Each structure stands twice: as structure tokens, then as C-alpha cells.
Structure 1
Amino acid sequence: MNTQTHPQLGELGQVEANLLARLDNIPITRGIWTIIGLVTMVWIIEAFDIGMIGSALVFLKQTWPLTSAQTGMLGSAGTFGIVIGLLPAGWLADRYGRKKVLLVGVTVFSAFTYFGVFTTNINQLAVLRFVAGLGEGAVFTAPYLIIAEFVNKKRRGEAVGWANFLLTAAYVLPNAAGVWTMHRGFSAALSWHILFSIGGALIIIVPVLWLWLPESPRFLLKRGKVDEVRRMIERFEDEARLPHDTALTNADTLSAIQAAADRRWGFRDLLRQPYLKRAFVSYCALGSPLALFYAMLVYGPTIFAQMGFGSSNSLLYVGCLQVVSGFGTILASFCSDRFGRPKTHATFMFIAAVCLVLVGLQLPTPFMIAAAVMAWFFGLGGFAMSKLYMSEQFPTQLRATGAATGEVVTRFLLGVVMVYYIPALLKVLHAQGLFMIFGLAMALLVLPLLLVGIETAGRSVEETGKDGILS
């Protein structure tokens, strides 16, 4: 690390630069692992809440005579809520803190999921899923931001990878719960009520987060809470048995702080260079795995059932593929830290695209299963790194806003518009045709990253988010 002192900066700027350099010098200690564990628990709970709609639809279709339009409405209502919830969530997280937004979001989506137990028709349930989605939207970017702003630059990708491995594996939980209700012989009506009850009960995580999850040190520094950050970093240094080096400074981080010191940041900065190009590239990179993610999350069991699998087997198959993609996340995280984000993500997406095309060719069942496993391993395995990469494009004052805007754009186009039309497309193209279209879309969306994406691996988030174009 390039370390030196810079007396030309004001005292407060010098202290901030020192604290950030020390934070980036700290390995992942017990305290930092605790923080990662807490936000991972939030991910797992949110994954159950989002993912259960796919399993619930299997039972709801047996309870209420749903049309394709009603199925599409219920499948997209939660995602539409997420999109709307994300609109203010980024700004609120940049203004009031990552932790506060996280707490409010978990409370909202858990409570309104539980209220779904008492609905008597599909319209009521769709409204509650929309409101729950508002809370999920508030939560979406916070865990990535918190991990990126706590973990050192050398292991940032690895930390997100392990956390996202558990997140990805957690999407098997609603499928497993659905299979469990089937095997217990519960009625379709009782089965979907059980899923919603479990989702609501998970609100118990809120007091745990309130007591033990700290606010992001980088956010606190921008609010002038230097002493609070100093105490936090000294505690981590004590855990790692590192000295409290008040002279340590990273020159590149210091330069980024100096460049942003007197600037006011807002949404309009996303429409100016270099952030406009960075936003476009990173949003496309996120959209590549997101297309596969949403299609399989909401309609995966239905699509595989159309391909000849039974309802129970389809739920298990989709759940197992989610677990497989978790292992892909681990590989992607290690590769992105060592070989770079753009090359790793583009490679993963291209392999997944080819495999999806193979799934659509109606190969013999063993080959089709192998191609599907590879598509999920590489396709959804690259999901976490695309979200981390997006958060690395912007300065601390704009990071949540930039990441939330990316979530809004990609999830509206893919999680609302695409999800709504999938039932109709299934009737025309059938499952095989859809897989081929998904493969082509994934390949096209990752091209901007490969061609003009900047490298962020091994750099502090202050460096990656500054105005200067990185090589």
C-alpha cells in the first residue's frame, strides 16, 4: 500500500483518509464476519419472501381459478412493488443511512406478507404482495452496500460471494416448504397459507439487527461522525491485533476524497459522464443474469412441468438448481478478485447463454439436465458479482442512489414487464423457445461490460467511484 501523510488537506480530510486506509488494511475479523452474517440473514429472509410466490402459485391455481392475466399480475405484483420501493430507497440510504432503511424494509415486507394469510381473493393478495415488495425494494441494495463498505478491497468480492452463496441457496427454502406441505398431505389452500405465515414470522430478525448491526463507517464519515468510526475501526484492529496507525494513508483513496470533498451529489450526476456510461454498463451486466433469475424464480416450476416434470419434481428441480448456482457464486467471487470483474462476469454469462440454448434444443433428458445445471451454475453464479460491480461504480454519497436506480431499471424491465408476458409467451414459444431467447438476451446484455467496462477489483470503493476513468 502506498502510505504517506498529506498536510495540504484539512485535518478532517486527513483523518477520514487515515481511517479509510486503516479499514482497508483490516482482514475479515470476527466483528466483520458478524456484520456479514447479519446482512446475510436478511438476504435469506428476503429470499424466502420473494421466492415463495413461485411455490404459492402452484397451490393458488388449485385454490382459485386463475387466468393467465391473473397469474401474471400476482407473479409481477411483488416485483412491481420492489421497483417502486427502490425509487426512494437509494436516496434515503444515502441521506439517512443503510441501517435505518434496512430495518424499515424488513419490517414492512414481513408484516404485509403475514397479512396475506387473511386475504379472500386474488386481487387482495396482489395488493399485499405489492406493498411487501415496497419493503423488499428498500432492502435490496443495503446488504451489498454494507459489505462493500466494511470489507477490505482485496477480499470484497470473496465476502459478497460467500454471503450470496447462502442467499442463493436460500431460494430453495420456499420450494422445500412447498414440497413439505405436499408430502404432509395438506390441502392446496392450507399450503399457501403456511408459506405466507412462515414469511411473516421472520420479522423476528428486526430487533437483532437493531442491536448488533452497525451503520456503515463510510456513511458515518460523510456525516462527520469521526469518533464513532474511529472507535469501530480500533475495535476491528484490536481483533486483528493490528496497531492503531494514525499515519497510514492510501494515496489513491486520499485523491478520491479530495476530489469529492466540496461537491454536492444528486440523482442528476447519474446522467453525467463518467457515471452515465458506468451506469449503462453495470445495469446491463446486472440484467444479464437477472433475466434468467426472474423467469425461473416465478415460473420455473410451471416451465419445467410443461416440459414433462410433475409439480413436486419441478419444485425440487428448480430448488436444486438454485443451490447449484450458489456454488457458481463462490467460483465467480474468487475469479473476480483475482482476474477482474469484467472478464469473469462476461465469461460466466457467455457460458450460461450457450447452455440455455442447449436446454432449448430438446436434447435427451440427461443432456438437458446437465446443460441446465451448467446454465444455473454460471448464469446465476455471476449474479452477486454484477451487483457488487454496480455498487463499485459510484462515490459513497451517490452509491446507494446509483445502485438502487440500477435495480429499478433492470427489475422493472425484467421482473415486471418480462414476468408479466411469460405466461403468454409460453403458449406461443413453449418452454424450449423461451430458454433460447433467454440465452441470446444474456449474451447481448453482457457485451458492454466486456467492451468498455472499467476494472474495480483490488481498488478501494473511493478509487472506483471517483470521476477519473480507471484503466
Structure 2
Amino acid sequence: MINQTTAAGPVRSLVPARMDRLPWTRFHWLVVIGLGVSWILDGLEIQIVSQAGYQTTLGLSAAQVGAVGSVYLAGQVLGALVFGRITDRLGRRKLFLVTLALYLVASGFGGLSFSLWFLLVFRFLAGMGIGGEYTAINSAIDEMIPSRYRGRVDIAVNGTYWGGAALGAAANLYLLSDHLPTNLGWRIGFFLGPVIGLVIIFVRRNLPESPRWLMTHGRQEEAERTVAAIERQAVDRGIQLAPVPERLALEITPVGRVSYLQLARTFFVDYPSRSFLGFSMMVTQAFLYNAIFFTYALVLEHFYHVPRAHTSYYFFPFAVGNLLGPLLIGRLFDTIGRRRMILFTYGVSGLLLLFSAYLFQAGLLNATTQTALWCLIFFLASAGASSAYLTVSETFPLELRGQAISFFFAISQGAGGVVAPFLFGHLIGTGDSADRNPLTLGYVIGAVIMIAGGLIAWYFGVDAERRSLEAIAKPLSASASAAGTTTPREVTP
């Protein structure tokens, strides 16, 4: 039994070691299903809204349709920043219920839109909900999944964005067709996400607060009860749990609110190379993805003369490739290792993009072969992009994990979500098939950026595979002599 003092004083805790010792249980499936839906909802939202079925009903111009997308993105950024700070202070569970509820209500009301301003308001609020989801959910998943499974689970969950995107594309084939009135189909599409969310919110209500968060916020007894309940699931299956050595205990003194000054010190003084790593990985993957994704249909239309109504058919294999990458090779990030796999996924996807740029420039591709190459490229790039979120969430102290995710997410969305589509849209221009030089240059830039991101991860990355979160980054609340943890200042390979 662990000795403990009052909630405000030092406490010796084996909670992290016990969480990492656990076998895979029903509880972990509930975590994956209940929390992992966030990315599916975002992929669904982006795909439903990107095809702009509401444009005719509401009488919107192309610029106004673009504003709807930009407002959703701005909501994501603000939601991540606001809710990221709140989840570090008030807990993961409260926030992953609040953010999902905000998304459900806002997206549903968006489907009732009667004017541009009404749609913009509720798209912004829906974006805030999804942005908040990213911070609370990624924090909770990493803190509640055993260390030997953490990489593959986090990467697979992040990759399910493309399952949602494929679902949205499939739904749009019917909702935006002649089978439904123009004023009805897109409204139904806006309700698909809330319907899924209503089911999932009941699953989330049965999930506990993160025991690690409880431990560092003076609620040790509650953390112990939560871990004991999860352990009983394993024992009930006949699994004998080995004792946890006392040497793995952490001495915790709960800290109060983390100030912005302390946050800046952690990022730029204690962990400067990890901050550079997180910035590089998030921005490079966001640049590549947004550059290709938001101009995907334009390339097919302008260079391969695919009718706009048929571009969704080419999107399906692209989405499937993006989904399969994290699901099939995510486990290698736990076995081969983080740094090796990040270098491989970023570097090889960049080299393949260079090769596709050459074939594109030479006029050797058609719509089918171009799509096949994109599928192969993003089979790897999708796993790499998912590992960027994993890297940010597991390499900073627990007390500011949500804020770390929100900070780098906001930067990546600003750089990748604003700069890349704008740049590549201008490179496509009129789509004159005789002049492919500008877009080819864009592909080369994207490839070089991805390769650079992989090299940065190799040199500045952290070998976090199968290691406890506390060994990767010592909690701010842990004593300097805490067993099995790093020193406050980072150690890089």
C-alpha cells in the first residue's frame, strides 16, 4: 500500500506504473471508441461542408463558401487554445464531455441555417468544439493507454480522420444528388456528425477521469480507486498482475495553475529542442496535407479533365490509403521505434512526392495513376502526420500536456491551413495542361519540407517507445528525485 499524506502535501504514488503494467482490457476499448470518435467527426465535417451543398440554398458566392471553411478553421484554433488550458486545470473528463456537447449543438444548428451569418456563427462554434476535442482527447488517450500500446493506439485513432472523410464523401454522393431536394440534402449531412456524437456521449459518461491527472492534482485516493477498478477487469479475466516495485513510485506535490510564464519556460528553456521538434513535425505535415487535400479536386478537374461531380469517386481510394497507413503500420512506432519510423514515413513519402512531381511534369500520369500515387504517398504520410500529434502529446510534462497540443496545433493550422491552400491554389492557376511548371514546383517544395521534417525528427526526436510518460518528461509536480524520470531539462539523443 502506498503511503500518502494530505491532498496538498507530498504523496508517493504508483499510479503511472500500475497504468502501464495493465494488459489490454475492456476499459481500453471504451477509451478508444469513446474518445477516438473526435477525428472521425472532424473528417466527416470537413468532407460534408467542403462540397458546399448549401451554396445554392443560401445564395453564397465562392468567396463566401471559402469564408465558411476559414471560420471553421479559426474556431478550431481558438477552441484548442481555450480548452487546452482548461483541460490541464479542470481535468480531461469534464472537457471531453463539454467539447463534444458544444460540437453536437453547434453542428446541429448549422444544419438549420437560413443565412450566411447564422451559418458562420455555428460553424465557428462547431470548430471550437472539435479544436477542444483534440486537446482533451489526445491528452486522455496517452495518459490512459499502457506505454507498450500508446504509439499504435494514438496513431490509429488520429488516422481515423480519414474514415470520417470517406463516410462524408459517401454520404454526399446521395445527399447532394438529384434524389433529394437541394434544400434538404446538405441539411441532413450537417446532422450526421451529431447523430454519431449522441451515441458516443453516452460511452464517454462511463469513462473516468485520467488517473494521472488526478494524481498530480491532489486527488490521489480517487486516482487509486480508478486504477483499482481497471485492474479488477484484468483479474476477473484470470490475469495475474505482477507486483509493481516501490522504486517506480513518484513523489508528487500537487501544483496550482501553470502560469503563462512557466509555460513559456517549459517550452523554450527546459525543452527547447522538443518544442522545435513539435513545431517542425506539426507544420510540415499540415503544409503537405492541406496543400494536397484542398486542391485535390482542382488538380483532377483542371489537369485531367475529371468532371466535378465525379471527383468524389477518386477521393475514396485516397481516403482509404490514408486510413490504412496508421492502422497497418502504427504498431511499428512501438516496436521499431519513434525516430526511425518518423524518418521513414516522412522521408519516403517526400521522396515519392518528388517522383510523382517528375511524372506529373512529364505528362506521364492520368487521373487514375495520379490518384494511385497519392494513395501510396499518403499511406506513409498519414502515419507520419498522426505521429506528430503523438510526439507533441507525450514529450511534455503532464500538467501542461493539453496546452502543448493546443499550442502546436494552432501553429500548424495557421501555417498549413492558411498558407498551403492559398499557395497551391495560385500554383494551379487556370489549370493550363501545357504549363505544369508552377504546380510541379509546389510539389517539390512540399516534398522537401516533408523530408526536412523527417530529418529533424531523427536528430531531435525522443525514443519514447514503451516508456512511461513520466520517464519521457518529468511532471512539474514530481520531486527532483522521482524514480524513473528525466531531469527537468531535456535529454536528447
Q: Is the TM value for this pair above 0.5?
A: yes
User: How many residue pairs are counted as aligned between the two chains?
Assistant: 460
C-alpha distance 318-196 of structure 1, shift in aligned 2 (>3 A): same
1:102 aligns with 2:96: yes
C-alpha distance 269-332 of structure 1, shift in aligned 2 (>3 A): farther
C-alpha distance 440-26 of structure 1, shift in aligned 2 (>3 A): same
1:19: Cα distance to partner?
2.1
Question: Identity of counterpart residues, as a percentage?
Answer: 23
Residue 10 of structure 2 contacts residue 251 of structure 2 at CA under 8 Å; is this kept in 1? Answer: no
- Which residue identity lines up with residue 48 of structure 2 in the other structure? M
1:339 aligns with 2:340: no
C-alpha distance 325-317 of structure 1, shift in aligned 2 (>3 A): same
- For residues 253 and 428 of structure 2, the distance between their equivalents in structure 1, rounded to whole angstroms, comes to 50
State the match for 1:77 in structure 2.
71
Q: 2:23 aligns with which of 24, 27, 36?
A: 27
State the match for 2:491 in structure 1.
469
State the match for 2:38 in structure 1.
42
Residue 171 of structure 2 contacts residue 189 of structure 2 at CA under 8 Å; is this kept in 1? Answer: yes
C-alpha distance 469-359 of structure 1, shift in aligned 2 (>3 A): same
1:174: Cα distance to partner?
1.0
- For residues 419 and 334 of structure 2, the distance between their equivalents in structure 1, rounded to whole angstroms, comes to 34
- For residues 110 and 329 of structure 1, the distance between their equivalents in structure 2, rounded to whole angstroms, comes to 27
Residue 18 of structure 2 contacts residue 244 of structure 2 at CA under 8 Å; is this kept in 1? Answer: no
Q: 2:141 aligns with which of 119, 143, 147?
A: 147
- Which residue identity lines up with residue 104 of structure 1 in the other structure? V
User: Does 188-197 or 86-95 show the bigger shift?
Assistant: 188-197
- Which residue identity lines up with residue 326 of structure 2 in the other structure? T
State the match for 2:320 in structure 1.
323
Q: Tell me the alpha carbon deviations over residues 216-271 of structure 1, each in whole angstroms, 9 at most, x when there is no partner.
A: 111111122222222222222222235577753454xx4xx459877974422344
Q: 2:420 aligns with which of 418, 421, 437?
A: 418
State the match for 1:390 in structure 2.
392
- Which residue identity lines up with residue 393 of structure 1 in the other structure? T
- For residues 259 and 222 of structure 1, the distance between their equivalents in structure 2, rounded to whole angstroms, comes to 7
- Which residue identity lines up with residue 39 of structure 1 in the other structure? L
Extract unaligned runs of 5+ from structure 2: 431-436, 475-487
C-alpha distance 425-132 of structure 1, shift in aligned 2 (>3 A): farther
Q: Tell me the alpha carbon deviations over residues 385-441 of structure 1, each in whole angstroms, 9 at most, x when there is no partner.
A: 211111111111111111111111111221234345554443277755543433233
1:322: Cα distance to partner?
1.6
Extract unaligned runs of 5+ from structure 1: none
- For residues 299 and 229 of structure 1, the distance between their equivalents in structure 2, rounded to whole angstroms, comes to 47
1:379 aligns with 2:381: yes
1:349 aligns with 2:351: no
Relative to total residues, which structure has the larger helix share, 1 or 2?
Answer: 1
- Which residue identity lines up with residue 289 of structure 1 in the other structure? Q
1:220 aligns with 2:214: yes
1:344: Cα distance to partner?
0.7
- Which residue identity lines up with residue 291 of structure 1 in the other structure? F
Q: What TM-score do the two structures reach when normalised by structure 2?
A: 0.83
Counting only pairs closer than 5 Å after superposition, residues 298-309 of structure 1 correspond to structure 2 as 298-307=294-303, 308-309=305-306
State the match for 1:236 in structure 2.
230
Q: 2:462 aligns with which of 432, 454, 460?
A: 454
1:174 aligns with 2:175: no
C-alpha distance 262-98 of structure 1, shift in aligned 2 (>3 A): closer
State the match for 1:274 in structure 2.
270
C-alpha distance 99-416 of structure 1, shift in aligned 2 (>3 A): farther
User: Does 118-127 or 449-458 show the bigger shift?
Assistant: 118-127
C-alpha distance 398-323 of structure 1, shift in aligned 2 (>3 A): same
- For residues 51 and 104 of structure 1, the distance between their equivalents in structure 2, rounded to whole angstroms, comes to 24
Q: Tell me the alpha carbon deviations over residues 46-86 of structure 1, each in whole angstroms, 9 at most, x when there is no partner.
A: 3322332223x2x3455567555434322222111111111
Q: Tell me the alpha carbon deviations over residues 262-304 of structure 1, each in whole angstroms, 9 at most, x when there is no partner.
A: 7974422344323232122112112222223334444433443
Q: CA RMSD in A?
A: 3.0
Q: What TM-score do the two structures reach when normalised by structure 1?
A: 0.87
1:183: Cα distance to partner?
4.8
Counting only pairs closer than 5 Å after superposition, residues 288-303 of structure 1 correspond to structure 2 as 288-303=284-299
- Which residue identity lines up with residue 269 of structure 2 in the other structure? Q
1:114 aligns with 2:108: yes
- Which residue identity lines up with residue 457 of structure 1 in the other structure? E
